[in-house]
Amino acid sequence: MFETEKITCQLSGSDKSERTVATLEEENATQDLAQADITEKLSETPTAILYQAASLEPVPLRTKGNNFITGFATDIGTKKDVNQDNCYIGIKTTRNQKACLMVICDGVGGLSEGEIASRSVTSMFDRWFNNKESDIIFNNFEALKQKWSEMIREINQGLLDYGRRKQIQLGTTLTAVLIFDGMYYAVHIGDSRFYIISDEVNQISEDQTVNGTHMLLQCVGATLNPIPAFYSGEVIPDSTVLLCSDGFVHKLEEREMLKILNSRICNSEKAIKEHLTELIKLDISRGEKDNITALLSKVQEKKRMWEKLR
């Protein structure tokens, strides 16, 4: 059993000053997309959702797995009237271990209602992660790939149907990473990115673009049958996991990311937000105009109680 505290931070709107912090009691945004108009299910202002889950069961002294320190930052940029990015961070305890799910979705520029498409996908992963039935496959990569592929097909069809009804096209990138029991499992469509930062910066995901340009080969919602890429591997203790929309990396160098986003200085939620905001401002100062969003999790190896007391 677990209970979840939700904190939301508004990402989009016609004005930066419209961003607010609020508490939501329900988040049922995208149920039955194929049968119902999506605009009746989604807020007009997409949100980033941060979850902290507290176990209701007694936690043994020798709890396994990892601890997580998380945070995010976003900016509407200088070109667009709406922030079409959406992100999600969820943490919960299951099987005496903490699991962390991170999701970044970037509404496709040049299409309509990208904020609706990106919000649809983050909401879908929100519901999946907080369904207790999902816990049983957290460290079964083949089962995760099958389930995530089914979810992507479902949401993709819903967005295609919605687009046909409104005579528009809409789409979003997707990069989601689940960290559990010292491993990461990731699904990726488009050009948002997944990095692991330790003593160097490792880009795990590969951009699905045409010859290194910003032209997407596929996305969720505007591609008939999107084919996701999957990644898995070990997470180095005391590394940081970074997910970001493509606007975050256009004007930055990896050495700058390594210096500012390493685990030694990203040691609190406040520090993570400050350092991500610092890089976003640097990015904008160099001419980046797109929406920019980045979320970071410091992954710590959970020490046993007797080790803490030595």
Residue-wise pLDDT tens digits, 150-190: 999 999 999 999 999 999 999 999 999 999 999 999 999 99
Report how far residue 155's alpha carbon sits from residue 133's, in angstroms, rounded to the nearest whole number.
Answer: 19
What confidence score (pLDDT) does residue 55 get? 33
Give percent above pLDDT 70 in the chain: 77
What confidence score (pLDDT) does residue 93 get? 93
pLDDT at 268 > cutoff 90 = yes
Mean pLDDT throughout 43-54?
45
Closest CA to 75 of 13, 16, 18, 14: 16
Q: In the numeric block, which tokens belong to residue 35?
A: 């049968």
Confidence of residue 52 (pLDDT cuts 50, 70, 90): very low
pLDDT at 48 > cutoff 60 = no
Mean pLDDT throughout 128-133?
94
Report the range of poorest mean pLDDT among 43-47, 117-121, 216-220, 263-267. Answer: 43-47
All domains in the chain, ordered by first residue = 2-309 (3.60.40.10)
Report how far residue 33's alpha carbon sits from residue 238's, in angstroms, rounded to the nearest whole number.
Answer: 40
Give percent above pLDDT 90 in the chain: 72
What confidence score (pLDDT) does residue 110 get? 87
pLDDT at 42 > cutoff 70 = no
Closest CA to 293 of 41, 7, 9, 87: 87
What confidence score (pLDDT) does residue 35 get? 38
Q: In the numeric block, which tokens belong to residue 291?
A: 């929406």
CB neighbours (10 Å) of residue 61?
8
Please tell me the total number of residues recorded for the chain in this structure: 310
Q: Which long-range contacts (CB under 8 A, 24 or more apart) does 269-273 make?
A: 269/69, 269/70, 269/71, 270/71, 271/71, 272/69, 272/70, 272/71, 272/72, 272/296, 272/298, 273/71, 273/72, 273/73
Mean pLDDT throughout 134-161?
97
pLDDT at 130 > cutoff 90 = yes
Torsions phi, psi of 52, nearest 5? Answer: -125, 125
What confidence score (pLDDT) does residue 63 get? 43
Highest mean pLDDT among 27-31, 34-38, 131-135, 143-147: 143-147
What confidence score (pLDDT) does residue 176 get? 98
Highest mean pLDDT among 63-67, 209-213, 300-304: 209-213
Quote the mean pLDDT of the chain: 83
Mean pLDDT throughout 53-59?
34
Report how far residue 83's alpha carbon sits from residue 98's, in angstroms, rounded to the nearest whole number.
Answer: 31
What confidence score (pLDDT) does residue 57 get? 34
Name the DSSP letter for residue 92. E
Mean pLDDT throughout 231-249?
96
pLDDT in tens, 57-104: 333 334 467 999 999 999 999 999 999 999 999 999 998 899 999 999
Report how far residue 220's alpha carbon sits from residue 197's, in angstroms, rounded to the nearest whole number.
Answer: 27
Cα dihedral 181→187→192→195 (10° resolution): 30
Q: Which residues have a Cβ under 8 Å from the Cβ of 177 and sit 6 or more positions away?
A: 101, 102, 103, 184, 185, 186, 194, 241, 243
Closest CA to 204 of 175, 180, 179, 238: 175
What confidence score (pLDDT) does residue 214 get? 86
What confidence score (pLDDT) does residue 212 get? 78
State CA 165 to chain mean position distance. 28
pTM value is 0.83
Q: Say which residue, 237 or 161, is predicted with more confidence.
A: 161
Closest CA to 281 of 102, 95, 77: 77
